[in-house]
A and B are shown apart, each in its own frame.
Chain A
Amino acid sequence: MRKITTIADVRRHFLSNKEPIYFISATNFNLLGIGDWVGSFRHINYIDCFDGQQRNVFVPKEKFPRDFESIEDINNYLLEHKEVIDFIGSRADGESAGVAAFLMFDEHTEEVCKQLGLRVAFPPAALRQRMDNKIETVRIGNKAGVPSVPNVLAKVGSYQELCEVSQELGNDLVVQTAFGDSGHTTFFIASEEDYYKHAEEIEAEPEVKIMKRINCRGSAIEACATRCGTVVGPLMTELVGFKTLTPYKGGWCGNEMFAGAFTQEIRDKAREYTFLFGEALREEGYRGYFELDFLIDMDNGEVYLGELNPRVTGASSLTNVAAFAHSDIPLFLFHLLEFSDLDFELDIEEINHRWSHPDSVDSWSQLVIKHTDESVDLLTQAPRTGVWKMAEDGSIGYDHYSYHPHAAENDQEGFFLRISGAGDFRYEGADLGILITRGRLMDDDFQLTERARAWIDGIRGQYAGQSLQDPVVEEVAVSHAVGGGNFKIL
């Protein structure tokens, strides 16, 4: 094929794509709707959020409740499952079975893919692991001219040591370990007492990141490092730690994307930093999709690098639905392009310029709704995936089936992706589902709006469970005890 030089070329190429491309993950949430852009695109998932209605989602029928340890674990389970292997094999062209993309994968995933004839469309797991290290992120940022919150990197063996190395940062500190999920490995330390709550975890690390605590807002931005330059998406706000959504303090629970999120100056700064960081990643050998968290200092408007997620993320579902994605192509298509054999030369600067324009960014929000009580029960009823409508009084009702967030046409409608369904256990931290809607769900003070609360209550109200004391439920619980089905969606 001749060299690709325009967005139209890219679009045409992927629409007529014949080589199977898979997104293998617990659910298809992160890449909702990408199948509309890419021929032969299939999701291979553990959870069927669509009750069999979605043609391009493959879920093995024969499954066992399992206590998965991570998303890598789910993906490896899927890839070693006979039904999945037969499915991939049935669509393969000789030795070549196509392309696989993941949210998370490890070296074992790579080995299995090699055997199945799948090409992994991501840099090697080992490199990703290195990039994912928060300490490493600070160093790359420093090199690229992207500042982190004032910090020191050090091995800490005691509270006294912590105070000594962080003298210049003051008494109010935030300590982070190199790896960890949102809300799990960030410790706020203002006193000796705070320190002892987390001393064991901190002292086990060879090195931690110690930051000055600032009055900040969380933000997220996604980008893709290509050989022609880094394509940068819009800056989104992050929903963090809302008790009505997540039981994890400081845990991620959604995003908002809208043109006026933060001032023009902050947005420009974040985009510039993201571009610089993407170029630095390429120098490290990393390429493709990535996400950066920026901490915006509310006191002085400074933009600080928070962390790097070298992968597709929970925010990708928004990045890939906004107006700019539809007027050009979704960011993920740049990723597929980068990992294809195609020769391309695109004017990334022009694209970035277009995407930075406020008109390119229509407003979208998503809420990740988890079970927040400590209770455990067996779900007997769950809201279906599709478009739900909110009435004047704030009550919600099912409107119609769709797999695409765009089907929610206005502020009164929301696209709901059901994750926990009837027959699943509802336990603290379990993902119930994700709501994507047009417009904002937080106010300017970063508090949930009334509409957001009504949606959360409405969705929760659609779930019903049966207590574990019920003998029938108990029996199911015992048979589930073998596994447990306890994992999170990121």
Chain B
Amino acid sequence: MEKTLIFRTVREESPGAKWQSLFDYHWPAYEQWYLAEGERERPAYLACYNALRQHMPELLDTYRTLCDLAGGGDLAARLLSLYRPPPYITGCSQAVLARSDTTVLARNYDYPPELCEGTILYTNWNGRGVIAMSDCLWGVLDGINDRGLSVSLAFGGRKVVGEGFGAPIILRYILEFCDTVPEAAAVLARVPTHMAYNITVADAAGRYVTAMIAPDQRASIRRVPVATNHQKKIEWYAHALASETLIRERQLSILVDDEATTEERLVSAFFSPPLFRHDYRRGLGTVYTAVYRPRDGHAQYHWPGMWLKLSFDHFPEQQLTVRYGARGLNAG
């Protein structure tokens, strides 16, 4: 069994034709996903609009523009709000290494490759450059803005679903309107999420936090450099076992606690087990490794034998094909 995913870098300063063609390309799959539980389970457009207006009002202009590019319809606008989307789960590992001379946020994104958009988007929508791995058409799995603020999300390993937003749009909001970790932390404490996520943020000043957010409890925001797929105690044992969340957390904790760990050592740990995962069959294989350097505004994306180094000054548009096999992945 082999899966192929094409990664593209796309640069478009203001929302326009490029974003529109990404929307057109991905929409049929998203529509099906959005309707998976029945259209009635999804909130009405007005509720979506009101939720955005209440919790992330600064995003409204961009939202409206994207809705227009998406054809101005009802369903697309509801999906794009990411307010109470259908529940979904992911794997993922992430860690911050903060030293006196360097800060790096690294992560593995573990997910079914066929459900990953594979778009690395460079935008300047609200007077801030943002480079991010895109999800849900304008949401963010991980990314960095031109002030150096870097973010990454991991599923929180809990089944609870409630009133709130899909995390990718919260990450987009942070990158569009925050400069620092304290600002991002305030957003994470305030904006409701519909599922449990662990979100790690690092900034150019070397600050970092991990926020454990969930719809049923107050956000726990602490100076923790490591996050995998559980929040405090294990609640969902099957998921924890399948995703090996404890093993990965332990590995990352040992690494970042060790004074001798260098940036290279941390990043290369993401390329091999237990952090790198081959479980593509169950949708928990590693799709890519992302490395963000808040101090110099660099973003790097890795696949075995292949990598892209991008920055706000250097962002060539290109594409590369990644093959995911049951026994590992071969770049080609």
Interfacial residues, chain A to chain B (CB-CB below 8 A)? 60-62, 64, 66-67, 76-77, 79-83, 85-86, 112, 115, 482-483
The minimal Cβ–Cβ distance linking A381 to chain B, given in whole angstroms, is 27
Q: Is the CB of B46 within 8 A of A80?
A: yes
Given contacts A112-B46, A482-B40, A483-B40, contact A82 B35 (CB under 8 A): no
- In chain A, what residue has the closest Cβ to B41? A482
Q: Does B308 contact A (CB under 8 A)?
A: no
Q: How far is the CA of A86 from the CA of B45 in the complex (A)?
A: 11
Q: Is the CB of A80 within 8 A of B45?
A: yes
Contact with A along B264-276 (1 / 0, CB 8 A): 0000000000000
Given contacts A79-B46, A80-B47, A115-B46, contact A60 B74 (CB under 8 A): yes
Contact with A along B91-105 (1 / 0, CB 8 A): 000000000000000
- Find B35's partner among A76, A80, A86, A482 (CB 8 Å cutoff): A482
Q: Is the CB of A83 within 8 A of B73?
A: yes
Q: Is the CB of B75 within 8 A of A62?
A: yes
List chain B residues, Cβ under 8 A from A86: 72
Q: Does B38 contact A (CB under 8 A)?
A: yes
- Find B73's partner among A66, A77, A80, A82 (CB 8 Å cutoff): A82
List chain B residues, Cβ under 8 A from A64: 35, 39-40, 75
Q: Is the CB of A82 within 8 A of B39?
A: no
| Beyond A62-B74, A86-B72, A115-B46, 7 additional pairs, beta carbon < 8 A | A60-B74, A62-B75, A66-B40, A80-B46, A80-B47, A82-B67, A483-B39
Contact with A along B47-58 (1 / 0, CB 8 A): 101100000000
Given contacts A66-B40, A482-B40, A483-B38, contact A85 B73 (CB under 8 A): no
Q: Does B77 contact A (CB under 8 A)?
A: yes
List chain A residues, Cβ under 8 A from B60: none
Q: Does B160 contact A (CB under 8 A)?
A: no
Q: Does B320 contact A (CB under 8 A)?
A: no
> Interface residues of B: mostly helix, strand, loop or mixed?
helix
Q: Is the CB of B39 within 8 A of A66?
A: yes
Which residues 52-86 in B have Cβ within 8 Å of A in the complex?
67, 72-75, 77-78
The minimal Cβ–Cβ distance linking A68 to chain B, given in whole angstroms, is 10
Q: Is the CB of B75 within 8 A of A80?
A: no
Q: How far is the CA of A83 from the CA of B44 in the complex (A)?
A: 12
- Find A80's partner among B38, B40, B44, B72 (CB 8 Å cutoff): B44
Q: Is the CB of B40 within 8 A of A82?
A: no
Q: How far is the CA of A64 from the CA of B45 in the complex (A)?
A: 13
List chain B residues, Cβ under 8 A from A82: 45, 67, 72-74, 77-78
List chain A residues, Cβ under 8 A from B50: 115
- In chain A, what residue has the closest Cβ to B78? A82
Q: How far is the CA of A169 from the CA of B77 in the complex (A)?
A: 60
List chain A residues, Cβ under 8 A from B38: 482-483
Given contacts A62-B74, A62-B75, contact A85 B40 (CB under 8 A): no
Q: How far is the CA of A76 from the CA of B38 in the complex (A)?
A: 18
List chain A residues, Cβ under 8 A from B40: 64, 66-67, 482-483
- In chain A, what residue has the closest Cβ to B39? A64
Q: How far is the CA of A62 from the CA of B76 in the complex (A)?
A: 10
Q: Is the CB of A81 within 8 A of B44?
A: yes
Q: How far is the CA of A64 from the CA of B75 in the complex (A)?
A: 10
Q: Is the CB of B39 within 8 A of A482?
A: yes
Q: How far is the CA of A112 from the CA of B45 in the complex (A)?
A: 12
Which residues 212-238 in B have Cβ within 8 Å of A in the complex?
none
Q: Is the CB of B46 within 8 A of A85?
A: yes
- Find A81's partner among B35, B67, B72, B74 (CB 8 Å cutoff): B74
Best-surrounded residue of B40, B49, B77 (most CB of chain A within 10 A): B40
Q: How far is the CA of A90 from the CA of B6 in the complex (A)?
A: 41
Q: How far is the CA of A490 from the CA of B17 in the complex (A)?
A: 47
- In chain B, what residue has the closest Cβ to A86? B72
- In chain B, what residue has the closest Cβ to A116? B46
Closest 8 A/B residue pairs (Cβ)? A80-B44, A80-B46, A82-B74, A82-B45, A64-B39, A482-B38, A62-B73, A62-B74
Q: How far is the CA of A160 from the CA of B149 in the complex (A)?
A: 77
List chain B residues, Cβ under 8 A from A61: 73
Q: How far is the CA of A85 from the CA of B49 in the complex (A)?
A: 11
- In chain B, what residue has the closest Cβ to A61? B73
List chain B residues, Cβ under 8 A from A67: 40
- In chain A, what residue has the closest Cβ to B46? A80
Q: Is the CB of A83 within 8 A of B46?
A: no
Q: What are 20 A-B pairs at a CB distance below 8 A? A: A62-B75, A64-B39, A64-B40, A77-B44, A80-B44, A80-B46, A80-B47, A82-B45, A82-B67, A82-B72, A82-B73, A83-B72, A83-B73, A86-B72, A115-B46, A115-B50, A482-B35, A483-B38, A483-B39, A483-B40
- In chain A, what residue has the closest Cβ to B67? A82
Q: How far is the CA of A79 from the CA of B40 in the complex (A)?
A: 15
Q: Is the CB of A85 within 8 A of B45?
A: yes
- In chain A, what residue has the closest Cβ to B36? A482
The minimal Cβ–Cβ distance linking A454 to chain B, given in whole angstroms, is 41
Q: How far is the CA of A64 from the CA of B35 in the complex (A)?
A: 10
Q: How far is the CA of A83 from the CA of B71 in the complex (A)?
A: 11
List chain B residues, Cβ under 8 A from A60: 74
The minimal Cβ–Cβ distance linking B65 to chain A, given in whole angstroms, is 14
List chain B residues, Cβ under 8 A from A112: 46
List chain B residues, Cβ under 8 A from A483: 38-40
- In chain A, what residue has the closest Cβ to B44? A80
- In chain B, what residue has the closest Cβ to A60? B74
- In chain A, what residue has the closest Cβ to B47? A80
Contact with A along B19-50 (1 / 0, CB 8 A): 00000000000000001001110001111011
List chain A residues, Cβ under 8 A from B47: 80
Q: How far is the CA of A60 from the CA of B74 in the complex (A)?
A: 9
Q: How far is the CA of A145 from the CA of B25 in the complex (A)?
A: 69
Contact with A along B226-259 (1 / 0, CB 8 A): 0000000000000000000000000000000000
Q: How far is the CA of A326 from the CA of B33 in the complex (A)?
A: 53
The minimal Cβ–Cβ distance linking A296 to chain B, given in whole angstroms, is 44
Q: How far is the CA of A112 from the CA of B47 in the complex (A)?
A: 10
Q: How far is the CA of A432 from the CA of B46 in the complex (A)?
A: 31
List chain A residues, Cβ under 8 A from B67: 82
Q: Is the CB of B74 within 8 A of A83?
A: yes
Q: How far is the CA of A77 from the CA of B44 in the complex (A)?
A: 7
Q: How far is the CA of A112 from the CA of B44 in the complex (A)?
A: 12
Q: How far is the CA of A82 from the CA of B79 in the complex (A)?
A: 12
List chain B residues, Cβ under 8 A from A81: 44-45, 74
Which residues 85-122 in B have Cβ within 8 Å of A in the complex?
none
- In chain B, what residue has the closest Cβ to A77? B44
The minimal Cβ–Cβ distance linking B103 to chain A, given in whole angstroms, is 42
The minimal Cβ–Cβ distance linking A400 to chain B, given in whole angstroms, is 34
Q: How far is the CA of A474 from the CA of B98 in the complex (A)?
A: 60
The minimal Cβ–Cβ distance linking A478 to chain B, given in whole angstroms, is 12
Best-surrounded residue of A67, A80, A482 (most CB of chain B within 10 A): A80
The minimal Cβ–Cβ distance linking A480 to chain B, given in whole angstroms, is 11
The minimal Cβ–Cβ distance linking A269 to chain B, given in whole angstroms, is 48
List chain B residues, Cβ under 8 A from A62: 73-75
Q: How far is the CA of A79 from the CA of B78 in the complex (A)?
A: 14
List chain A residues, Cβ under 8 A from B49: 85
Best-surrounded residue of B74, B77, B78 (most CB of chain A within 10 A): B74
